[in-house]
C-alpha cells in the first residue's frame, strides 16, 4: 500500500531529527484517547521529525497531525496488511529512515496492530523506543476505584457468546488456581450488556466493577457497582462511545491493607458518597467485612 498523498515537506533539521532518534529507529508514540490536548509534546516532535508515520487509519492520524500543524507522510498498517507491510517497513529502517508508529488512540500495540512490526524490528537489530502517554486501559483502572495492582489486561472479549463465555470460564479457572487481580477489558457499546451478563454469570454477580465510557471526552462517565447491577443497567441501555470495563478481584484475593481501605474510603467520600454507600462500595471492592468497613467509614467521617 502506498503512502498517503501529501504535499512535499521541507527536510527536517538535524535538531529535529534528534527527536526521532538515530537513523533506523522505530518510535512508538502514544496518542490521545479522546481529548486532543493530551498529545505528548515529545510525541509531536517525533511525528514532525520522522521520515514516515505508520498508523492504523491514515484519516484519523491526518486529523491529529493537522491539529498540531503537521503534514507527515503516512503509511497504513492494520490487521489486514501487517504481514505484507512489515518487510517493506524493515527495508526503510535498514536504509536509515526514522519511523514513528501510532495507534488511532492510546498506546500502540494495546489492542491495536503493530506487534509483528515491533517484534521483527527488534529481531533485525533496529532501535525500538517509545513516547509514553495516554492509555485507555490505565485511565479506566485509575478511575475505577478498584485495586490497581496487580491487574490483568484482556483487550476485547470474543464477540460471539460461546467463545466469550469460554474465555470468562478460563478466567474463573485462573482465579480458582490462585489468580487475584483486577481485570481490565474493552467492549463495544453493542455488546456491553451481553458481556456484563456473561461476566456476572461466570465470575459472580457480587463482584465489584466499573464501566468507564468516553474517558477524557466531554461526556466522560464512570459507573461503579457490582457486575450484577451493571449487567441489569446495561441490559436495556446501550451507551455510546469507547468503553472499558474494570472488574475487581474475586473473593479469593488477598485482603486489602488498612492503608488501601482508608485510601478507597477517602476517594469514595471525595466523590460525594455517604458513609453507608462508601462502606458498601469499599467492602465489595476489597473483600473485607462490611461491618468492619462501615465502622472505619464512620470514624473517617468523624461520626464514629
Is the confidence at residue 175, as pLDDT, over 70? yes
Tell me the C-alpha distance between 243 and 136, whole Å. Answer: 9
User: 25 - beta bridge partners?
Assistant: 127
With a CB cutoff of 8 Å and minimum separation 6, the contacts of 291 are: none
Tell me the C-alpha distance between 128 and 132, whole Å. Answer: 13
Question: Could you read off the pLDDT of 68-79 as tens digits, one per residue?
Answer: 999 999 999 998
Question: Could you read off the pLDDT of 20-73 as tens digits, one per residue?
Answer: 789 999 999 999 999 999 999 999 999 999 999 999 999 999 999 999 999 999
All cell numbers assigned to 19: 527527536
Residue corresponding to grid cell 488498612: 258
Could you name the CATH architecture of 14-134?
3-Layer(aba) Sandwich (3.40)
Long-range Cβ pairs for the range 37-44 (8 Å, 24+): 38/133, 38/134, 38/216, 39/64, 39/67, 39/68, 39/133, 40/131, 40/132, 40/133, 42/131, 43/131, 43/133, 44/68, 44/70
Residue 72 to residues 11, 44, 65, 80, 186, Cα–Cα distance (Å): 11, 11, 7, 23, 30
What predicted TM-score, i.e. pTM, was given to this entire model? 0.76
Is the confidence at residue 15, as pLDDT, over 60? no
Domain boundaries, the chain: 14-134, 137-247, 258-301
All cell numbers assigned to 251: 473473593
The pLDDT value recorded for residue 53 is 97
The pLDDT value recorded for residue 253 is 52
CATH number belonging to domain 137-247: 3.30.950.10
The pLDDT value recorded for residue 69 is 94
Question: Could you read off the pLDDT of 133-150 as tens digits, one per residue?
Answer: 999 999 999 999 999 999
Amino acid at each position: 500500500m502506498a503512502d498517503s498523498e501529501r504535499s512535499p515537506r521541507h527536510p527536517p533539521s538535524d535538531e529535529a531529527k534528534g527527536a526521532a532518534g538515530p537513523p533506523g529507529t522505530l518510535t512508538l508514540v502514544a496518542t490521545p484517547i479522546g481529548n486532543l490536548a493530551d498529545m505528548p509534546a515529545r510525541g509531536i516532535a517525533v511525528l514532525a521529525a520522522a521520515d514516515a508515520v505508520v498508523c492504523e487509519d491514515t484519516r484519523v492520524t491526518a486529523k491529529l497531525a493537522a491539529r498540531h500543524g503537521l503534514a507527515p507522510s503516512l503509511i497504513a498498517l492494520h490487521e489486514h496488511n501487517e504481514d505484507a507491510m512489515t518487510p517493506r517497513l524493515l527495508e526503510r529502517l535498514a536504509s536509515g529512515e526514522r519511523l514513528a508508529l501510532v495507534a488511532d488512540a492510546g498506546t500502540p500495540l494495546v489492542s491495536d496492530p503493530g506487534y509483528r512490526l515491533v517484534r521483527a524490528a527488534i529481531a533485525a537489530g533496529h532501535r525500538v523506543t517509545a513516547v509514553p502517554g495516554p492509555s485507555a486501559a490505565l485511565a479506566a483502572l485509575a478511575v475505577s476505584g478498584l485495586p490497581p495492582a496487580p491487574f490483568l489486561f484482556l483487550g476485547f472479549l470474543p464477540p460471539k457468546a460461546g467463545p466469550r463465555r469460554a474465555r470468562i470460564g478460563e478466567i474463573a479457572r485462573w482465579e480458582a488456581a490462585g489468580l487475584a487481580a483486577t481485570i481490565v477489558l474493552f467492549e463495544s457499546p453493542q455488546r456491553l450488556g451481553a458481556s456484563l451478563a456473561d461476566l456476572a454469570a461466570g465470575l459472580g454477580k457480587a463482584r465489584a466493577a466499573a464501566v468507564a465510557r468516553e474517558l477524557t471526552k466531554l461526556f466522560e462517565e464512570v459507573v461503579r457497582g457490582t457486575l450484577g447491577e451493571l449487567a441489569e443497567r446495561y441490559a436495556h441501555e446501550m451507551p455510546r462511545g469507547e468503553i472499558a470495563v474494570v472488574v475487581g478481584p474475586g473473593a479469593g484475593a488477598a485482603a486489602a491493607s488498612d492503608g488501601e481501605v482508608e485510601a478507597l474510603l477517602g476517594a469514595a467520600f471525595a466523590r460525594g458518597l455517604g458513609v453507608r454507600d462508601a462502606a458498601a462500595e469499599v467492602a465489595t471492592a476489597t473483600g473485607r467485612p462490611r461491618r468492619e468497613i462501615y465502622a472505619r467509614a464512620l470514624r473517617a467521617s468523624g461520626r464514629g
